[in-house]
Structure 1
Amino acid sequence: MIQGCTSDAGKTTIVAALCRILLRRGIKVAPFKPQNMALNSAVTSDTGEIGRAQAMQATAAGIAPHTDFNPVLLKPSSDCRAQVIIQGKSIGNLDAVDYHAYKQTAKKAVFESWGRLKNQYEWVIVEGAGSPAEVNLRAADIANMGFAEEADCPVWLVADIDRGGVFAHFVGTLACLSPSEHARITGFIINRFRGDLSLLQSGIDWLEQKTGKPVIAVVPYLHGLDIAAEDAVPRSAGNGGAFKIVIATLPHISNHTDFDPLRRIAGVDCSYATPNQPLPAADLLIIPGSKNTRGDLAWLRRQGWDKQIEKHLRFGGKVIGICGGYQMLGQTIADPLGLEGEAGDSKGLGWLPIATSLEQDKQLRNLSGQLLANGETVAGYEIHHGETQILDSTAIPLIKYADEHDGVITDQVLGCYLHGLFDSSETLKSLLAWAGHQVAEVVDHQQLLEQEINRLSDALDQAIDWEKARQAGLIM
């Protein structure tokens, strides 16, 4: 199990790299994260929902994503409330106190999935959540040491030296653990190191002597590593291209990884709008998905962004809405069951002839079809409660699947439910052309992911002291 001294220490990428390293050695391996809190999610081969990071780790392991890889997923809809996904399916929304009481039920699902994976794979690489030093969350823990103790697996602890204070992170974390948990940590990984390793050696010697635990690897800082963080929105600064794309940064933005392909296009400046600031001037505005669509729409209006979108369109700009953003662009959004917040109706932005009602059953499916405008192949996935009705019989759909349509397109506004819309190179070119920008070549999304996973795995493979790793539990 890989645990971290802090969030964003590098647990996700270390697990992915270990999965690829073991795959290269001919070992059947799977990733596993007992409990995840994230708004970036993916649809699995068994039509469930897991954290997008675990889907990426499955790619690193050379297998299709499955709900057992992330049996508990929490998708926050407010600071104190989240939708709870158990083995791929939503069981409803719980506040923090109610979820704490629900943990014993969640734990059962965690160990059911764990048992199946142990029977199917030679190795399972487990990822913790946050930090095991969060003593206020120790009771009924299923995310870190609570899981490790019951599953009886060794733990490697990761810290990010780029943040500073790496030795304090390790020693301080150990100080927060019980004696049995302390003993369960069999090694350290220092992540994102820059500079001359010889200058770090005295610190490594001190840490090993003080704790009695080995430093298994010092992983170098990989400049420009293009593997999405588990849930953090990329920094807002653009990249200086002439064609400007701005993505509205909603409070409960979900699946912002949809827009990673846009940030990789030469000549395109793609940035995230800063909350509490006016929307920057742009050629294309994008309204992303949201875990609280009506709440985020109200927030958007309080920012004054609705009026700025209206001005943007009046001056000839283009707008794209994905999933919740698509719903916002319509006439009305109804949430009669209070699935995302307080029950009620909201007036949409009014730029597309659609009306949406949030229903109990969640749509979870992988899809492929064609852009109706030119027949380009599109593929992606849907994750939403919304049932959307087209109000105008003359409206032009965006995508055709085998027996249905998705989305609406006008001269200036388009929207649909499909996450991953920009992953196809040809589709991306077509949509940019509609928005007013011709591009000859774009990065192949899947090829880049493979390239970056291999780059990361090469670095970790070289950094690991394999003799120490075997002594610390990784026996191959």
Structure 2
Amino acid sequence: MAKAIMIQGAGSNVGKSMLVAGLARAYANRGLRVMPFKPQNMSNNAAVTVDGGEIGRAQALQALAARAAPTVDMNPVLLKPETDTGAQVIVRGQRFATMKARDYGRAKAQLLPEVVRSFTRLAQTCDLVLVEGAGSPAEINLRSGDIANMGFAEAANVPVLLVGDIDRGGVIAQIVGTQVVLPPSDAERIKGFAINKFRGDPTLFDDGLTEIVSRTQWPSMGVVPWFEGAWRLPAEDVMDIATRAGGQCKIAVPRLSRIANFDDLDPLVAEPEVTVDIVEAGRPLPLDADLILIPGTKSTIADLAYFRAQGWDIDLNAHIRRGGAVLGICGGYQMLGQEVIDDEGIEGTPSQVQGLGHLAVSTHMKPQKRLARVQATHIETGNSVEGYEIHIGQTTGEDCNSPWLSINGRPEGASRGRVMGCYLHGIFSSDAFCAAFLEQLGTKVQPQSYEAEVDRTLDELAAHLETHLDLDHILRLTEQV
């Protein structure tokens, strides 16, 4: 069995996902076989695995960092929020149920054995498993039946490294307070701590480290300065999506309330000649956009109503009248059609709603979800495209006779003039296609090597952690169980 350590946060969004990715690359560079693992994730930004399931996007990035193929065992439970109180529950890559939060709380204990089995399978294939917690163990009201933090650590007998976020302020209280509120058996499982996202001179926090060590008796693994290259890595959390100024080509992206699989935007954000403008609720779609990109969504019908509530449908009409380009991906593609039919209530109450009407297609929601990694061809330019499908719904209609892509001869998507749509995510990671698409928008660029840039950034992150964390000590912590 491999050694393992669990990275838990003293709060949400302390940078656990990125730390695990950096540690995975650092230890892989040392010659260890590393696997990432997250017992339970909550995210609508998913990735399709080599074994035909879906996991959180962060675990796919961590697998890349570890130079391992992503599998469903890396994230055995994935929660995909559909409403404010309910989510689709994915177990080992496949849809298990749709549950209200309260019902899921009662069901978690039944999922723990499956989670531990996934962990055990991974641990039998490598030297080190890097486990990422979710939220914070200090949420002791959630401890009963927990599978995301200390409940898993206890079941799998894994030691814990606690991480605090100094950028938010109050990091001493974050770390010390976590120890104070935890049950003694959980507090004893924490074998060390680290501070993340420091800006400025880290030596100015020496007295703070001394206080934390004195009050907790936990050793410090180091203080990690803010990693400036973080924006070049795919974001998992929807709160990390932000407008990024670049060149004169402006791509406007309405931030849907249930936006999903927004990694489509990452290669565009990385392109120097492109400005990606994330349009928040209450703001009109910009008049000067070269492209309006309607992204994926976990709830097409709900986000169609949300889109109209912002007045974005009126802005979109005006954009199209001016000759502007539009691309809808997955749920965004469905929204661009004539109607969305959900007579089985897949997304909630059975309904049939009018679409935005810019493509002569209709979508019929079906319970079967399509999960596939595919290679395609962009019909207009002939460029090869790699991506993945992760959707429910079948889209048919007149404009499907003018497909945007071809997958092994099978038409995919639809187009009508400068309005386009498809189900394929991740297409802009294909460098030649991305450059050709931007040229169609009037922007000449040199093809970027996006995936190579992500890989270089992971190496930079690994070197950053080698400099500022005691990686040898962290490995020794794996023996303290």
Please indicate the TM-score interval, normalised by the length of the shorter structure.
Answer: over 0.9
Aligned partners of 2:122 and 2:399: how far apart in 1?
49
| 1:203 Cα deviation from its structure 2 partner | 1.3
- In structure 2, what is the equivalent of residue 75 of structure 1? 80
Q: Does 1:288 align with 2:291?
A: no
- In structure 1, what is the equivalent of residue 336 of structure 2? 329
- In structure 1, what is the equivalent of residue 215 of structure 2? 210
Q: Which aligned pairs between 1:101-112 and structure 2 lie closer than 5 A?
A: 101-112=106-117
Name the stretch that deviates more: 99-108 or 307-316.
99-108
Q: Does 1:449 align with 2:454?
A: yes
- In structure 2, what is the equivalent of residue 372 of structure 1? 379
Task: State the secondary structure of the residue aligned to 1:446.
Answer: helix
Aligned partners of 2:237 and 2:64: how far apart in 1?
18
Counterpart residue identity of residue 117, structure 1? L
> What's the CA shift string for 1:278-310, capped at 9, x where partnerless?
122212101000001000001111111111100
Relative to structure 1, is the Cα distance of residues 236 and 222 closer, same or farther in structure 2, using a 3 angstrom cutoff?
A: closer
Relative to structure 1, is the Cα distance of residues 285 and 28 closer, same or farther in structure 2, using a 3 angstrom cutoff?
A: same
| Residue of 385, 392, 416 corresponding to 2:392 | 385
Q: Which aligned pairs between 1:454-473 and structure 2 lie closer than 5 A?
A: 454-466=459-471, 468-473=473-478
Aligned partners of 1:138 and 1:33: how far apart in 2?
17
Aligned partners of 2:338 and 2:427: how far apart in 1?
23
Q: Does 1:120 align with 2:125?
A: yes
Q: Residue 359 of structure 2 contacts residue 399 of structure 2 at CA under 8 Å; is this kept in 1?
A: no
Aligned partners of 2:181 and 2:273: how far apart in 1?
49
Q: Does 1:428 align with 2:434?
A: yes
Q: Residue 81 of structure 1 contacts residue 96 of structure 1 at CA under 8 Å; is this kept in 2?
A: yes
| 1:438 Cα deviation from its structure 2 partner | 2.6
| Residue of 16, 29, 34 corresponding to 1:24 | 29
Name the stretch that deviates more: 74-83 or 98-107.
98-107
Aligned partners of 1:301 and 1:466: how far apart in 2?
51
| 1:122 Cα deviation from its structure 2 partner | 1.7
Task: State the secondary structure of the residue aligned to 1:104.
Answer: helix
Q: Which aligned pairs between 1:58-457 and structure 2 lie closer than 5 A?
A: 58-225=63-230, 226-239=232-245, 241-281=247-287, 282-392=289-399, 395-434=401-440, 436-457=441-462
Q: Residue 93 of structure 1 contacts residue 339 of structure 1 at CA under 8 Å; is this kept in 2?
A: no
Q: Residue 246 of structure 2 contacts residue 272 of structure 2 at CA under 8 Å; is this kept in 1?
A: no
Q: Residue 386 of structure 2 contacts residue 426 of structure 2 at CA under 8 Å; is this kept in 1?
A: yes
Relative to structure 1, is the Cα distance of residues 466 and 324 closer, same or farther in structure 2, using a 3 angstrom cutoff?
A: closer
| 1:265 Cα deviation from its structure 2 partner | 2.0
Q: Which aligned pairs between 1:34-73 and structure 2 lie closer than 5 A?
A: 34-73=39-78
Task: State the secondary structure of the residue aligned to 1:115.
Answer: helix
Counterpart residue identity of residue 407, structure 1? G
| 1:99 Cα deviation from its structure 2 partner | 0.9
Counterpart residue identity of residue 217, structure 1? G
Q: Residue 270 of structure 2 contacts residue 450 of structure 2 at CA under 8 Å; is this kept in 1?
A: no
Aligned partners of 1:236 and 1:441: how far apart in 2?
24
Name the stretch that deviates more: 246-255 or 111-120.
111-120
Aligned partners of 1:223 and 1:73: how far apart in 2?
29
Q: Residue 249 of structure 2 contacts residue 443 of structure 2 at CA under 8 Å; is this kept in 1?
A: no
Structure 1: stretches of 5+ with no match in the other structure: none
Structure 2: stretches of 5+ with no match in the other structure: 1-5
| 1:92 Cα deviation from its structure 2 partner | 2.5
> What's the CA shift string for 1:77-115, capped at 9, x where partnerless?
111010000000002211111111221222122112112
> What's the CA shift string for 1:356-387, capped at 9, x where partnerless?
11111100000002111121000000000111
Aligned partners of 2:384 and 2:472: how far apart in 1?
48
Aligned partners of 1:341 and 1:157: how far apart in 2?
39
Q: Does 1:2 align with 2:4?
A: no
Name the stretch that deviates more: 226-235 or 318-327.
226-235
Q: Residue 292 of structure 1 contacts residue 341 of structure 1 at CA under 8 Å; is this kept in 2?
A: no
| 1:240 Cα deviation from its structure 2 partner | 5.2
Give the alignment's Cα RMSD to 1 decimal.
1.5
| 1:264 Cα deviation from its structure 2 partner | 2.0
Task: State the secondary structure of the residue aligned to 1:75.
Answer: strand
| 1:390 Cα deviation from its structure 2 partner | 2.6
| 1:136 Cα deviation from its structure 2 partner | 1.7
Aligned partners of 1:467 and 1:365: how far apart in 2?
39
Aligned partners of 1:264 and 1:61: how far apart in 2?
22
Identity %: 44
Aligned residue pairs: how many?
473
Counterpart residue identity of residue 177, structure 1? L
Task: State the secondary structure of the residue aligned to 1:422.
Answer: helix
Name the stretch that deviates more: 262-271 or 211-220.
262-271
| 1:402 Cα deviation from its structure 2 partner | 1.3
Q: Residue 399 of structure 2 contacts residue 416 of structure 2 at CA under 8 Å; is this kept in 1?
A: no
Q: Which runs of 4+ in 1 moved over 6 A?
A: none
Aligned partners of 1:378 and 1:441: how far apart in 2?
17
Q: Residue 61 of structure 2 contacts residue 234 of structure 2 at CA under 8 Å; is this kept in 1?
A: no
Relative to structure 1, is the Cα distance of residues 338 and 172 closer, same or farther in structure 2, using a 3 angstrom cutoff?
A: same
Aligned partners of 1:466 and 1:236: how far apart in 2?
32
Normalised to the residue count of structure 1, the TM-score between the two structures is 0.96
| 1:234 Cα deviation from its structure 2 partner | 4.0
Task: State the secondary structure of the residue aligned to 1:367.
Answer: strand
